[in-house]
Chains A and B, each alone.
Chain A
């Protein structure tokens, strides 16, 4: 779930306590909506600059281990212990802080379990802030020695998608009763693309059972539905022209960056290692070569290999999307962006100089479309011309068939000319204009219509009806001795008039039934809403896309409960002697056990000075008790010893597993995390 979705379904109670967070309150106070505030990178930067080390460390852990996937508290505590050397208490306190600050959210499943998650759009923001890219680009001199991989030319994904969506606009995409596309129709969509399915492994596209959709077409459908370019009709997938315009607006560079970001958030988010790799890669400077092992480094202790493998898979897909180039430097894989993946930066770039974003219409009816041409202009060309080849520049051809299709979409020679002149910034060459005029001259001149006809059994009756002053106004052209056209909207009134003239019209039963269905009423269930209308998705609901996804959090209610306080996190806190928490002391063995068991329940550490067998004492240590065993005075506690106390940041402290006998424990106290840390 992303911040926009969270804002859209935020319960009042959640908003009330979340709004008390100082950083959020300041922004909300200036009238900004939740959707704006929660996803604001500036807010995130401010939080990162001021947050205590422990929540920061935990957030880093969440980014690495879970990315945008939901997790249970226990999984987090386990990870915090294994990887960060944190006590359960520390992790739980930090978790509540992250919730209270609007960084982390929770949903409650139907049976009450709570799942935590980072808003999917914020994971990369936090990674950029808290785990910035450590890798440096290969210097220019060394980069000369990079041998580019022997891949063929790849079109940018934006153009591949346009080809697929244009095919849907052109041929349609009907769905079977099971909701899967017709095999032949979806094969046409896939055939319109140059993208190979084998390159898409990293994306985890999972077409449903029995779905014949090839992977590349599934990608086009998924992104098309998600971006609002496509929509679901009754029994087909349709192009939503308004949605297409909304999605395609902007420069080519900015659009590609927007798409790159959507691809990363939609597909890399399914796997934390992949998401980490994708976000690290997105931090690389465009155009500069990087060693792939350097990009994968710094994820988590021991996790580099998993991230490196994920990065390699991700790069396979991105290379197929025409976004990265790969090569080999001294036997090691290297890569570089060939587009700018940062939407903000790409949007800020200067527009192409001197009209380079304009395409050119040649007198021989070809259209040469350079890479800078905005995607919306490409989309419109595809409406009136046929793509003949696509490479660094694309070629479209104006043909009679293409004009015929354009005419079905309401185009005329003038609108096509206006479209092409606007996109090319030049008057159409005369041979092109001539061809347009020739082709369109014959288009739209005839039409096959469904019409309502008045038929009488003999000509005299037709004359009689036509002579009636009221009926004649409802009649159109006479098309035979016994036939008149009936004006479109007048059928009902004419039938009434004919009845009143004494000629009640004959109505076949099937027609009557059809009329009933049209009215929305079900004969067996008066007033019911027709199934067709039910099938239409409600407006303003984001389409979840085409392919099956992992658990969709939006199914669940946001958890409105405020973050737990200390007394909730550490039940019985008020009942234990204050001294247990204040300073180390020596206690009777049974009290020592009670104190240690309390620490185990609270999953927190104790500060302890072990006593030696000869009655002497060692130095102080921090011990995280995990289990108490034994009975009477012969009990022992096993757990982890932290060698050098808490580390606020950086690598976790080394831990040693030890077992302390009851009589080996000298002075001790319970150590609870500092609320401020």
Chain B
């Protein structure tokens, strides 16, 4: 509590760096402009949006030329209750550290320099770090083993010491590549403003530690375009890592369709194919695949086979831990992470920062929706009673088995049928967690089903038929969570989900967020068995989207479902 009667300023500043912005108040826009520079959005449910100042956001602000005094003056001007003294000191301390340590290259030698030589002595005394330093040292610098570049940065950042990496990147083997002037359909190719901003934020600043980092865009907002434009900007051989084979196919197709690259330039590196070409698209899975009993991973050679100038990590929040380790050794190569969410269920978000790079660009979902870049989505949770034999099995089952019984509630099939009838003519996806359930729905309602077991060519053929309108409804297994390009899908019906993965729910919603040609909105249904544990798991899954400003409308399916649709 502070003494002066609080003016109605839009920002509440907490001592731990949490910032609450009330978008309803005057001067909220002004405060928002400040927050975009110095903080990151945590959530925006309702009108009170939560941002956080972390060491990373403060270092990013410092990298963009902000001084602690300017940051604090901006906060004070917008703060309703002033800026807590503890935070003032923290801002001074954290931002003051940025630029104290730098990695520079002198010929072949990598050096860590410090403004204050005492810091170097402190660092040299750290047990975990000592092994990465060389004996060579001088006034204000110490030699660093080149292979330790990533590990050193990661360890020091974890200890609150950001290292400005000015050692530069290898430019990689040059590759002539441009975006085409027109797309396959003849429309001129022009990046949307936010896509251009994202590319600029990533590749524009090559001074200091610029040139690597993560771009966060909602599903459907065109992350592939950001990747392709970054490649065209840097014009170097590029390795693209994606979560699955479908995604590999789609990247290749988009590159061929929208860039000047030819088939001879692009290779696929998957379980089936091992092509290494100037632009190679690989899966995370193949990179982490290891033969039984062998310590070395045969596919890691891919990273050094060619002189890559850029590595693109698609869906970077899924990056497996082994690839992180690999990434630490690749610090001389530019890295671009693409994702819809920095939420990592495994809590490794800080490693993404340290090893792929800081967040370079972030566009909130609802902002893009307001601007019409992603479709307006209505989220509906439909509660379906669990009856008959399923209810008995549910009651008798141990807790760990109940989620599946509730998820596979056979009554959901009828609800899907009614919803499909309601959305007749709208391209619709039915997404589920359990193959047996999907098969039942597929057979019961005559819907083609795509699963991971299906050969990729067959999958792609079904996707193409869906995109062309020949098939109106597709049932998808978990394969649909990521990197499936079905731009016209307008309705998604989730019949079951994992225990509570927030990013899964976001990804599934993302499948229907591409703006529709007719400007129509999208509808996301989540079918949940009433009076079961599935209700709580659904609530947990929905949290990320609630935090992004989406609200679920809950309706209840009448028991027996003899008539009509859901009742509110």
Contact = CB atoms under 8 A, between A and B. Distances in A.
B43 interface: yes
Given A152-B15, A368-B20, A337 B3 contact: yes
Interface stretch (A347-355, A496-504, A509-517, A586-594): A347-355
Contacts, number: 97
A156 B3 CA distance: 13
Most interface-central of A339, A392, A438 (chain B CB within 10 A): A392
Most interface-central of A338, A349, A389, A393 (chain B CB within 10 A): A393
Contact of B18 (A338, A360, A391, A434): A391
Contact of B1 (A338, A350, A353, A363): A338
**A-side binding surface: helix, strand, loop or mixed?**
loop
A340 B3 CA distance: 7
A151 B86 contact: yes
Contacts of B552: 431, 434
B520 to A, nearest CB: 23
B89 interface: yes
A153 B83 CA distance: 11
A372 B3 CA distance: 11
Contacts of B551: 363, 429-431
B121 interface: no
A349 to B, nearest CB: 8
B1 A252 contact: yes
Given A252-B1, A360-B48, A150 B14 contact: no
A370 interface: yes
Contacts of A389: 16
A363 B20 contact: no
Contacts of A434: 552, 554
Interface in A337-394: 337-340, 349-350, 352-354, 356, 360, 362-364, 366, 368, 370-372, 389, 391-393
A186 B223 CA distance: 55
A400 interface: yes
Given A391-B16, A431-B552, A350 B45 contact: no
A364 B547 contact: yes
A287 interface: yes
A253 B14 CA distance: 19
Contacts of A441: 531
B46 A152 contact: no
B471 interface: no
B16 A362 contact: no
Contact of B535 (A322, A431, A438): A438
Contact of A353 (B3, B8, B535): B8
Nearest to A156: B1
A325 interface: yes
A661 B428 CA distance: 121
B546 A392 contact: no
Contact of A393 (B20, B45, B536, B553): B20
Contact of B12 (A156, A393, A435): A393
Contacts of B13: 392
B524 interface: no
Interface of A: 148-153, 156, 252-253, 256, 286-287, 322, 325, 337-340, 349-350, 352-354, 356, 360, 362-364, 366, 368, 370-372, 389, 391-393, 400, 429-431, 434-435, 438, 441-442
Given A153-B84, A353-B5, A429-B46, 6 more contacts: A356-B8, A360-B48, A363-B546, A364-B547, A392-B12, A434-B554
Interface of B: 1-6, 8, 12-16, 18, 20, 43, 45-48, 81, 84-86, 88-89, 531, 535-536, 539, 542-543, 546-547, 551-554
25 contacts: A149-B85, A150-B85, A151-B85, A256-B1, A287-B4, A322-B1, A325-B85, A340-B3, A352-B6, A364-B45, A371-B1, A371-B2, A372-B6, A391-B14, A391-B16, A393-B12, A400-B536, A429-B45, A430-B554, A431-B542, A431-B554, A434-B552, A438-B535, A441-B531, A442-B531
